[in-house]
Amino acid sequence: MGITTFPTIEKCTLEGREKDTVVADLDGTLLRSRTSFAYFALVAFDVCGVLRLMFLLLVSPLIGFLYYFISESAGIQGIIFATFAGMKVSDTESTARVVLPKYYSEDLHPESLRVFSSCGKRCVLTANPRIMVEPFLKDYLGADIVIGTEIETYKGRATGFVRSPGVLIGQKKADALRKTFGESQPEIGLGDRDTDIPFMTLCKEGYFVPSKPKVKALTADKLPKPIIFHDGRLVQKPTPLMALLIILWIPFGFLLACMRISIGLLLPISLHYYVCWLSGIRFIIKGVPPPPIKKSKDKTGILFVCCHRTLLDPFFLSVALGRHIPTVSYSLSRISEIISPIKTIRLTRDRASDASIIKKLLKEGDLAICPEGTTCREPFLLRFSSLFAELTDEIVPVALESKTSMFHPTTARGWKGMDSFYFFMDPSPIYKVTFLNKLSSELICKFGKPSHEVANYIQRAIATTLSYECTNFTRKDKYRALAGNDGTVAEKGRRIKAKKLASYSYDKLVR
């Protein structure tokens, strides 16, 4: 009996499934792709770097031979060993929690998820390592039970071998299902290949998910839960071809980044706009950049209130204006300070002291500030701190947008000193600066407007310009979700003050 003898997933009715139990495979069933190489590659690169990714790519032909000509189990054991051998379990868990969900969510099969979400109890049965898939399945798809291959560990590190009963393939999936559910029989079983038949026959109804390369993944607005925060350096899913391109590009990309940064340090700011285009950076300016205000006792400089997309926001704002605009920051790596052509002043996190610093700087001239306090990759804006609104009447909102095709230039867990390099390593990054109108008198604190209303107004104005969504999340929310700390850095030791990761919820989303 072949898998095609089961009815297709489209024929599964959804009415009255609230009390039913569904058991689904992952690759090719809940996910569109039938191979999980890219997800193993993401773990390899995020935890161990480009050398482990290179090793995984080099042994992939052998893994493919084992998978297709020996057994599925042997192939999966091979890729597990190549990826996980020697890794810290804590690093693997962190990557599974904050890196992989973004890529899994972009690969969801709409028909399978429709059936999966309609049932009251949900179980996923997969040959993938449980440690790699469980956070996404439970936190974002609402899975109650995740049964996967278990990895052997020794003193907090993965050995690369798998625990008994081995890789969950074929009859081993059926045995694991019996062990979990006992005599009770799940109502629905979903699979996509012949090795799924043993567990599907244990269910009251079995449905086949046919391979359709052109099936479209769920759009972001239809996901069960929005992914606002995620980490990791790779923009695209590293398929074998993409992984090869990344490995080949990194040496050239680093040299390109050094060249771009050196030119930025040596040439005057007025020439940077043309240099950006000549070096492959697509730099777009919209709106009318305001001229500098003439200094007087009654007037302060202009405060440019920007959304925060990357560490380079103040630099590209300065390039758009054709003049150096200093900025304030809570923390900045030493190497980023050295290579930055823009003056950066540290804030103290004490409201009165920070207000005094910003007022002093505004008396000296224009200033840039990012009231979100941290970056966000997705089309969402974090809550704007209202302190800036109390300090000046000369406020110009600025909408910033950054796009890269290979590397993310931000991180919450990695070395922040490489953020600028990763942006400039990208083959053809895009930066868009849009100047909004200066705030009118009825919208500033001087004429009775509360500071938090001013901050909210600017947040909404920038979000509308970029077609983003406003949230109530803060810098601390981001770091607690991604790094397990509050994101603060001690000045003396430069050490992160780690806090125990709190349970995290997206219920605060959207005001």
143 CB burial (10 A radius; 0-12, 13-18, 19+): buried
pLDDT band, very low/low/confident/very high, at 347 (cuts 50, 70, 90) = confident
pLDDT tens per residue across span 402-421: 999 999 999 988 888 899 99
Predicted pLDDT of residue 398: 97
Predicted pLDDT of residue 189: 96
Is the pLDDT at 359 greater than 60? The verdict is: yes
Lowest average pLDDT, out of 251-255, 345-349, 382-386, 472-476, goes to 345-349
Is the pLDDT at 213 greater than 80? The verdict is: no
**C-alpha angle 444-450-455 in degrees, rounded to nearest 5:** 70
pLDDT band, very low/low/confident/very high, at 510 (cuts 50, 70, 90) = very low
More confident residue, 340 or 305: 305
pTM: 0.90
pLDDT band, very low/low/confident/very high, at 487 (cuts 50, 70, 90) = low
Instruction: Give the residue carrying structure tokens 């290579």.
Output: 339
| CB of 311 closer than 8 Å to CB of 420 | yes
Average pLDDT rounded to a whole number, residues 476-505: 58
Share of the chain above pLDDT 70, in %: 94
Is the pLDDT at 297 greater than 80? The verdict is: no
Beta strands in 155-307 (DSSP E): 157-162, 188-191, 205-208, 282-286, 303-306
Is the pLDDT at 392 greater than 80? The verdict is: yes
Predicted pLDDT of residue 127: 96
**How far apart are the two ends of the chain, measured CA to CA in Å?**
54
Predicted pLDDT of residue 1: 62
Predicted pLDDT of residue 88: 96
Query: Alpha-carbon distance 71 to 67, whole Å?
Result: 5
Residue 145: in which H helix or E strand, if any?
strand 145-149
| CB of 74 closer than 8 Å to CB of 59 | no
More confident residue, 496 or 307: 307
Is the pLDDT at 314 greater than 50? The verdict is: yes
Q: Which amino acid is at 400?
A: L
Is the pLDDT at 493 greater than 70? The verdict is: no
pLDDT band, very low/low/confident/very high, at 485 (cuts 50, 70, 90) = confident
| CB of 160 closer than 8 Å to CB of 78 | no
| CB of 429 closer than 8 Å to CB of 423 | yes
Predicted pLDDT of residue 483: 83
Distances (CA, A) of 174 to 6, 52, 89, 193, 202: 17, 34, 28, 14, 7
Q: Which residues pair with 381 in a beta bridge?
A: 470
Is the pLDDT at 163 greater than 70? The verdict is: yes
For the chain, give the mean pLDDT: 90
User: Burial letters for 481-505: b for 16+ Cβ neighbours within 10 Å, e otherwise?
Assistant: bbbbbbbeeeeeeeebeeeeeeeee
